[in-house]
Every structure is written in C-alpha cells, then in structure tokens.
Amino acid sequence: MEETTPPTFEATPVPPSEIRPAPFPVFRELALLAGVLVSVFFLPYLYSQAKAPIADATANMRAPQATTLRVPESAPSIPDASVFEHIALLGKTSAVYDVSRGEFLYTQGSDTVLPIASITKIMTALVAYELMRDLDTVITIPPPTTDEYSPLAIGDTFTARELLDYTLLVSSNEGARAIAITAAKSALGNEATMDDFVRAMNIRARTLGLTHTSFKNVTGLDIGENPGAISSAEDVAKLLAYITTTYPDLLAVTQASEKTFVGTKKLIYEAKNTNGVVRNIPGLIASKTGFETSAGGTLAVAFNAGLDRIIVVVVLGSTWSGRFDDILELVTKTQLSL
C-alpha cells in the first residue's frame, strides 16, 4: 500500500517469483546499456560502436537536457558550519548538500549504506522520463502484481505525466510499476521486462557516479527480509540535485500538499502528499518520502534558499515521524548557516 499512517508499512513485499533474472539475448542487454548511456553524454562513442539492434533500441530515447546549474551572478556566501555543531537527529545518516557550491554543508555518516524505501521512486521517475518517447503516452493500469491495496482502478488510463505525478505524490507502488514497464517497452520493445528497467536504473546510478546505490525493484519495497534498494545520504543528495537542476519540472508536483486526478473512467483520485511537512519548508522544490521495515523512515527534500541557491537535505534510517523532525531541524540549521 501507499504510505498512510503507522504502523502500516508502505507495502507488502514483492513475491519472489517477480524478482528473477531476465533470460534475454545479449543484444538486449547491450541495447539497455546503450540506451541509458545515450541519455547522458556518450552518444558519439555509442554510435561509433553500437550495432543495429542497439541503435534501434536507442532511437526513441529522450534527448538529455543541459546539466548546467543556475548560479547567482555573485558567488554564494560561505556557510557557517558551526550552526550544525551538537545537532541531534533520530536518523542514522544524513546530509545537507549545497548544489550551487557543489559541496556538503553537513554530513552524518553520509557514506553509510542503508535501505532507502520509496525514495527509490525518484530514480524510477528519472529513468522512465529519459526512456519514454512522450509523457502524453497513455498508460493503462494493469491487474495488481501483489495483494497490496491500490486505489488505482484496473483498466483506468492516465497520461504518463499524470501517472508520474500521482505516483510521486502518494508513493504509489502500482503506479511505479505501470510507468516502469511502459517506459521499458517504449524504449526496448514489447518484450522488455521489469528486470530490464531495474537494470537501467542501476546503469543510470553508475553513470551519475552513485557508487553506494543499488536497486532490486522500482518501488523500494522490501523483498522478503532484504531491501528493494540501498544508497547513502550523499548519493541520494546528488541524485536529487541532478534531477532538480536537469529536469526541474519532473518532481514539481511534490511541492503540493494534495492534488486531484481523474482517469478516463471518470473516477476521482484524491492524492495527498506523503511528505507531512511540505508546507513547513520555504522554497520547497521537490521531496520524496520512504518508509519500510528495513529502512525505517526516510526523506529527501530540495529547497531554494534564495537567489536560486538550491539546497538538498537527506535523512535515512529515522522513524515514521522522526524523519520529518530531522528534516525540519536540518533545514532550519541550513537557513541559519547561510
């Protein structure tokens, strides 16, 4: 299920039968790798070495946008790191990243690798956005793959943009799966599988230099006793910084506290943001929550501290309510430091 209230966890684990290696030919593995790399910056190299199947698979990739950050004309002020002294958080690891300066203002065990739960979905959104031909693509909600409850009606349809927004806002697991399989088939052909998409997520993590990050599914749900995704606070901060500066509209819906969606079946879906402090962070640009058995409470936010100075704050390994307290404490300290 989506995040609601404790102690209910974010979802029922994915059945083992759903997590399996994809028995597909070598050329599809190469096509997947080439497709993701093309979306970054290796297009000339790939075109010189790729074979026809790879070229066919990458032909529909979304062209990447420039990654140049918007930096104020005057150099950002040097923050006062002393404000972070003696800070006490419930989270096991955390980080505050000043995107404009390209440096961390504060870290607490930031290289510690922990489960990240539904923060996973920001990578799912990124890869889907880069693989999919068109966000006006219509996606039909398929039968559920688990016994978890989902308010999304089977057979209802949304545009990819609408379903991405809904999924990010309420942390919908069924929405994430529907988006992922549609994007995989769009880029790699109708035989593409969910495993292909997860492979693309891991390839994308490597191209972004996220050395502590690994994905086993598109939702972040635990698989039995094992986490669906792991990362570090620094890696998550860098990922969120990349998305908010490269594709600023991709996570924009997470600034809202709620939004109404209507599918083609004319059903009304009232979506409330799983970030309970969305209204308490001035200049909020993006946010994503997570909560699972292995991960506890997780939260990542990006906000504009003024003059386009983007700050990313991440907390992992906290509690259901503690993640919100931790984030607000770090946001307040950050504002005092600038």
Q: How confident is the model at residue 247 (pLDDT cuts 50, 70, 90)?
A: very high
CB-based contact 90:319 (threshold 8 Å): yes
Q: What is the pLDDT of residues 148-176, one digit of tens each?
A: 889 999 999 999 999 999 999 999 999 99
6 assigned to some structural domain: no
Number of domains comprising the chain: 1
The two beta strands, 258-262 and 268-272, are antiparallel
Which amino acid belongs to residue 65? Q
Range of the domain at 62: 16-337
What integer pLDDT is reported at residue 31 of this predicted model? 57
What count of other Cβ atoms lies within 10 Å of the Cβ of residue 65? 11
Per residue in 275-300, pLDDT tens?
Answer: 999 999 999 999 999 999 999 999 99
Alpha helices by DSSP H, the chain: 26-38, 43-49, 52-58, 120-131, 160-170, 173-188, 194-207, 233-246, 322-337
37 falls in which pLDDT band (50, 70, 90)?
Answer: low
Which of 32-36, 38-42, 297-301 has the least mean pLDDT? 38-42
The answer as to whether 163 is a domain residue is yes
Please pick, among 39, 94, 110, 171, the residue that the annotation labels catalytic. 171
Residue 146 pLDDT > 90: no
Residue 3 lies in a domain: no
Who has greater pLDDT, 21 or 287? 287
Residue 57 lies in a domain: yes
What pLDDT score does 17 carry? 39
Please report, in range form, the residues annotated as the binding site: 288
Band of pLDDT at residue 15, cut at 50, 70 and 90: very low
| Angle between helices 120-131 and 233-246 in degrees, nearest 10 | 40
Which is more confident, 250 or 76?
A: 250
Set 110, 118, 186, 287: catalytic member: 118
Mean per-residue pLDDT, 224-243: 98
Arithmetic mean of pLDDT, 267-282: 97
Q: Give the residue numbers of the binding site for substrate.
A: 288
CA distance 46 to 54: 9
Is residue 127 domain-resident? Answer: yes
- β-strand partners of 96: 106, 313
Selected catalytic residue, list 39, 100, 121, 337: 121
Question: What confidence score (pLDDT) does residue 113 get?
Answer: 98
Segment 182-196 shows an average pLDDT of: 95
pLDDT (average), residues 170-199: 96
What's the whole-number average pLDDT of the chain?
A: 84
Q: What percent of the chain has pLDDT over 70?
A: 77
Is there a catalytic annotation at residue 118?
A: yes
DSSP structure string for 11-64: -PPPPGGGS------HHHHHHHHHHHHHTTT-HHHHHHH--HHHHHHHTTPPPP
Residue 5 lies in a domain: no
How far is residue 173's CA from residue 165's CA, in Å, rounded to a whole number?
A: 13
Residue 326 lies in a domain: yes
- Cβ contacts of residue 74 below 8 Å, gap of 6+? none
pLDDT at res. 149 = 87
121 catalytic residue (yes or no) = yes
Calpha distance 176→166 (Å, rounded): 9
CA-based nearest residue to 46, from 203, 211, 199, 186: 203
Query: What is the side-by-side order of every strand in the sheet holding 114-115?
Result: 114-115, 229-231, 214-215
Structure-model confidence comparison of residues 97 and 72, the more confident one: 97
**CATH code at 138?**
3.40.710.10
Q: For residue 311, what are its two tokens?
A: 């700050």
What is the distance between the alpha carbons of residues 114 and 85, in angstroms, rounded to a whole number?
24
Q: Is 167 part of a structural domain of the chain? A: yes
Question: Is residue 54 predicted with pLDDT exceeding 70?
Answer: no
**pLDDT band at 6, cuts 50/70/90?**
very low
Token output for 294 = 């292995």
pLDDT at 78 over 90: no
